[in-house]
Amino acid sequence: MNRNGTILWQDRNTVVILTGLKRPSRNKATGAMLQVFILYKHKHPVLAARGGLDKHVCGNCPRRPYLVKLKKDRGLDTPRKCYVELAKSVGAVWDCFKRGSYPVWDRDTTPFEGKLIRWGAYGGPEKIPVGIVREISAASAGWTGYTHQWENPAVDKYREFFMASTESEAEHRKAKGLGWMSFRALREHERLVRGEEMCMKSKEHEEACGFTLDCSSCLKCNGRSGDVGIKEHN
């Protein structure tokens, strides 16, 4: 049994797995946070994304590879596809799940006390029952999380935990009007608007302030601490 991770929740198509309980994450961008993966159960993540089955865990996220390719093939403007490398950590977690190696969480929150949580190392964390998010977040020392499903009224209950992932100034304004904190991806020509702060792990923050912080040292993207923007570079 792999004690580095645990199954937090699952249904017919989706499984939620938390990792890092024994071996801290080596992700340089996020730091040593517990990583929560939301996975489609029936296909390897690479194949699921290629065939559009990632809709079960990513919803209508505009950065899904399937949707990005579809728009590009039609000559439509589209954001860059999701940066997550499915063949690596995501695929490894899925493989371990398919081998039956992860135990099911026993509802004891003690292992999460004093730890930092990354809700959504892959997949939309709004797929996780909000009671689980609330229970584990309360036990933790802090968390980060993002959702592209912020326009759905059924997702409003996650506003106190996750950022609205926005792709334009117009989306940023709309998310703010709905009561969300916004995490906005800025294209090269775009600038921060009033109230937004540059992501502290960005090169722009380093150029302006002389330093960067990983997510575990910042924790601003917790749905409660203000709006953040980050530049996308070609």
Write down the pTM of the prediction. 0.96
3-state secondary structure of 132: helix
Contact 37, 16 (CB under 8 A): yes
Per-residue confidence (pLDDT) for residue 234, from 0 to 100: 55
Assigned token pair, 40 = 């489609």
Q: How far apart are CA 206 and CA 136, in angstroms?
A: 32
Per-residue confidence (pLDDT) for residue 176, from 0 to 100: 98
Sheet of strand 34-40: strand arrangement: 5-10, 14-19, 34-40, 116-122, 142-147, 163-166, 182-186, 227-231, 196-198
Q: Any residues with CB less than 8 A from the CB of 21 and at least 6 apart, and which? A: 3, 4, 5, 6, 34, 111
One digit per residue, pLDDT tens: the chain, 234 residues?
A: 899 999 999 999 999 999 999 998 988 899 999 999 999 999 999 999 999 999 999 999 999 999 999 889 999 888 888 989 999 999 999 999 999 999 999 999 999 999 999 999 999 999 999 999 999 999 999 999 999 999 999 999 999 999 999 999 999 999 999 999 999 999 988 999 999 999 999 999 999 999 999 999 999 999 999 999 999 865
Q: Any residues with CB less than 8 A from the CB of 11 and at least 6 apart, and which? A: none
